[in-house]
Chains A and B, each alone.
Chain A
């Protein structure tokens, strides 16, 4: 018998035990948390309390009953006629993917990926006049892609620009997401931090946009991550950074610079 057998054995426990563990609240009192945030030149408003924090600035932030937070963004769906770039080719490619999708494929047939080499190329490919792709402070870039999500009839519901960047100390990913008239909800559930170490803060950028920031410990000892969200209504922007605790200040600066680059 190996430890992996016990791990797999745990996967087969009763659904009621999973449900119980998910919902159970311990009677013991929690220790108060200390909130920290030290980004320069920004005024941060700390959120505290329990329950729904509100939907101002396009976001709803909800504190979970047990641990952590969930955040969702109110979105306005873009008419397809305003998206004029070559991205519309996905309307033909995705239905074909559904038709030819083999059951053993590792690809989900409803998504189509296009590699791009720059923000300008991504913007031209999409062809949405109001789209603005944030300028990121680092030149080291991996995996610059546009992802398109559609249904078997070729109706495009989401377009996402994904980009990985990194400095010597911090790796970061950012996503810029558009929702079209074919997206079926007015709300996008974008974030979750289910750890007691999760802290949530917000600030207003120089351009008047509300930025929500999660900070939490990663499972790897001594590592943290920080995820920030901004929405302009038609576009949702997300940025995540992972770093060693000692490099917190650099990660904060990256998030701050990213937020300030969105107009």
Chain B
């Protein structure tokens, strides 16, 4: 059997920089399952998922170069999430995407009540803050939060994976969201 050789990120980025179309094929081979997992949680049908993935490969092709991501996987994860949410905004009226709507509604709880809509935290700073807060959580709870708000997995799915009821999982999530809101408030003060 022919061995499967996995290209490292450096080599993959080099292919993009040389405008070699194998970059897209290799990206798809290595990261399609990862991207599909996120998109499948956020979108309603496999057809939509495949369309989003095509958009992701295209966006990667268009952005590298000039961009040189530290981690191709994290970069593609961000693209899937960005493209999914942008599509959700456009097609919200058709009620085609239940995933992002529920996730966004819940994320309201992460905003401290003392914050106004106009009050902003620079995007990179907010990511670092969330990253630091996540690392301070217990492993199971950190994983649950990332699966819900990064991968977009449903509360029902997480409850099944964790072995508890949906109501219990909703409680855990609410507590985590409020904890993040406190961390953001503390950061500002």
B98 touches A219 (CB 8 A): yes
Which residues of B69-126 are within 8 A (CB) of A?
70-71, 73-74, 77-78, 81-82, 85, 95-99, 102-105, 107-108, 110-111, 115-117, 119-121, 123-124, 126
The A-contacting residues of B in range 25-48, CB under 8 angstroms, are 25, 32-34, 36-37, 40-47
Docked Cα-Cα span, A19 to B107, in Å, equals: 22
Report B130 CB to chain A, min CB distance, Å.
5
Q: Out of A1, A19, A195, which one reaches B41, CB within 8 Å?
A: A195
CB–CB A197/B143 < 8 A: no
Question: B34: which of A22, A29, A195, A221 is its contact (CB, 8 Å)?
Answer: A22
Q: Which of A4, A21, A173 contacts B150 (CB 8 A)?
A: A21
- Chain B, residues 121-152, CB within 8 Å of chain A (1/0): the string is 10110111111001100011011001101111
Q: A1-B121, A108-B57 are in contact. Are A219 and B42 (CB under 8 A)?
A: yes
Contact check, B111 vs A197: say whether CB atoms are below 8 A apart: no
A-B interface contact total, Cβ < 8 Å: 197
With an 8 Å Cβ cutoff, the count of chain A residues facing the other chain is: 60
Contacts A103-B62, A219-B43, A225-B45; is A28 near B149 (CB within 8 Å)? no
- Contact in complex: A7, B85 (CB < 8 Å): yes
Whether, in the assembled complex, B157 has its beta carbon less than 8 Å from a beta carbon of chain A, the answer is yes
- Cβ of A193 within 8 Å of any chain B Cβ, yes or no, is yes
Stretch at the interface among A10-18, A43-51, A115-123: A10-18
Q: Report which of A12, A193, A227 forms a contact with B78, defined as CB distance below 8 A.
A: A12
> Which residues of B are found within 8 Å of A1, using beta-carbon distances?
111, 115-117, 119-121, 184
Among residues 172 to 225 in chain A, which have CB atoms less than 8 Å away from a CB atom of chain B?
173, 184, 189, 191-197, 217-221, 223, 225
Which residue numbers of A lie inside 8 Å of B, CB to CB?
A: 1-15, 17-22, 24, 26-31, 66-67, 70, 98, 103-104, 106-108, 110, 151-152, 173, 184, 189, 191-197, 217-221, 223, 225, 227, 240, 242
- The 12 sampled A-B contact pairs (Cβ below 8 Å) are A2-B117, A5-B123, A9-B129, A11-B127, A12-B126, A24-B140, A67-B157, A189-B32, A189-B33, A196-B156, A220-B99, A240-B47
Q: A18-B150, A219-B99 are in contact. List 19 more A-B contacts (CB 8 A).
A: A1-B117, A3-B108, A6-B130, A7-B104, A8-B123, A11-B127, A12-B128, A12-B131, A13-B150, A21-B143, A22-B34, A28-B162, A30-B161, A66-B161, A104-B62, A107-B58, A192-B33, A196-B160, A217-B156
Chain B residues engaging chain A, CB cutoff 8 angstroms: 21, 24-25, 32-34, 36-37, 40-47, 54, 57-58, 61-62, 70-71, 73-74, 77-78, 81-82, 85, 95-99, 102-105, 107-108, 110-111, 115-117, 119-121, 123-124, 126-131, 134-135, 139-140, 142-143, 146-147, 149-154, 156-157, 160-164, 180, 184
